Amino acid sequence: MPRATAAGSMLTLTPVLQKVISPPRWFEGADGRFHMKYELKLTNAAPVSLDVSSVEVRSGRGRHIDTLSGPRLAAAMTQLGEQAPTSTLNGSTVGIVWVDLTFPTRRSIPRAIEHRLTIDVGPGRGVGPMLTHVGGRAEVAHRPPMVLSPPLQGARWTAAISHHRRSIQTVNGRLRDGQRFAVDWNCLDAQGRTMSGPPDELASSPSYRAPVLAVRDAKVVQAVDGLPELIPGETFSGGLAQADGNHVILKLGPGTFAGYAHLVPGSVRVRAGDHVRRGQVLGLLGSSGNSSGPHLHFQLMNRPSLLDADGLPFVLRRFELQGDFGSVDALVEADATGATLAIDRSDAGPRRRVGLVGFPVVDLPRRGPR
């Protein structure tokens, strides 16, 4: 509660400190809305558990944008390093609020954001029980997302996005979320299956050995080959340096890099220092590194590392939206059983210069190098 000092200024007890980990970033999605994502770190400096009652997101000028409370807040918050949803901060711990906002137009995206945090300290503390504090101010990154050609080509590609959203890593002394906007690409066969043979054979996946393409004219800054593939069902035993498997990192422009992971050993066709053209084949889709099966992990980031970087949004030059497969769990179940993946086709149609949202199935244009 505010306390007056002898000098007349006000002191406010703030047992929970707020900080936005990296600039909020946005993109226009295939659903016609603008999506903004960031993480709000809450540090409980008290030795007792506190309940977070609400987090109001406001523009830098104090305009209300959204309020997370009740089940919505619990679903959007975790303790650092854990996956279980919670709205409680244990004593002397750190929590993360995974903020995902949507806006109807680009003009409605604020230039800055701040947060009005309300916590319940409970009875018998001498203050409260409810304490409110405005903090966690951050400037929104307003540079438009980069327009890319797809990293693959052909029909019936599923794009799994949401499971990467909460992938904060502690790397080189900092909290990093390089996978914030990452996509795992898997292909369906003509019957809508992710697997058409024995699940322990890589060739059973229609994705396996698909050509992986440069998304823009770029310079190769890293190319790793020669690491073995992981058979579905096997446990990855390599270290952090091998988790990406055979991979390529391209420099697309100042502070913008594209990462491609889990390529087939012996398939990488480029070396560090090479210059590549949009649509050029970089390697073949595989299952090397820490992989659950053949797929392409693709992401954009601000540094030439898939982990020690800040994840950046992107939009695709064009694609044909075939529908939505509903959830990552549905994709995993189809992969395990060999069943046809159910697809909701109610919003199908062509898309241009927008990003992937939900659980899309898309056809990607076929093209060769210019």
- β-strands 314-324, 146-148 pairing: parallel
Residue 232, pLDDT score = 86
Q: What is the pLDDT of residue 127?
A: 78
Query: Where residue 155 falls among pLDDT bands split at 50, 70, 90?
Result: very high
pLDDT at 369 over 50: no
Contacts of residue 286, defined as CB under 8 A and 6 or more positions apart, other chains included, come to 202, 208, 209, 229, 245, 246, 262, 263, 264, 265, 267, 294
Asked if residue 161 has pLDDT above 50, the reply is yes
Q: What is the pLDDT of residues 332-353, one digit of tens each?
A: 899 888 899 999 999 999 999 9
Token pair, residue 258, equals 């594209």
**Residue 197 pLDDT exceeds 90:** no
Beta pairing, strands 130-139 & 112-120? antiparallel
pTM: 0.93
Which residue type is seen at 94?
V
What is residue 101's predicted lDDT score, i.e. its pLDDT? 98
Q: Where are the alpha helices (DSSP H) in the chain?
A: 70-76, 328-337
Cα distances (angstroms) measured from residue 163 to each of 160, 297, 312, 329, 368: 7, 12, 16, 10, 31
Choose between 221 and 121: higher pLDDT.
Answer: 221
CA 328 to mean position of chain CA atoms: 14
Phi first, then psi: give them for residue 154, nearest 5 degrees.
110, -175
Can you give the pLDDT at residue 370?
A: 47
Find the range with the poorest average confidence among 14-23, 228-237, 251-260, 290-299: 228-237
Convert the pLDDT of each residue in 311-324 to its tens digit. 999 999 999 999 99
> Percentage of the chain surpassing pLDDT 70?
96
In this structure, of 25-39, 105-119, 355-369, the range with the lowest mean pLDDT score is 355-369
For the segment 14-28, what is each residue's pLDDT rounded down to a tens digit?
Answer: 999 999 999 999 999
What pLDDT is recorded for position 9?
62
What band does 2 get if pLDDT is binned at 50, 70 and 90? very low
State yes or no: pLDDT of 59 exceeds 80: yes
pLDDT band at 7 (very low <50, low <70, confident <90, very high): low
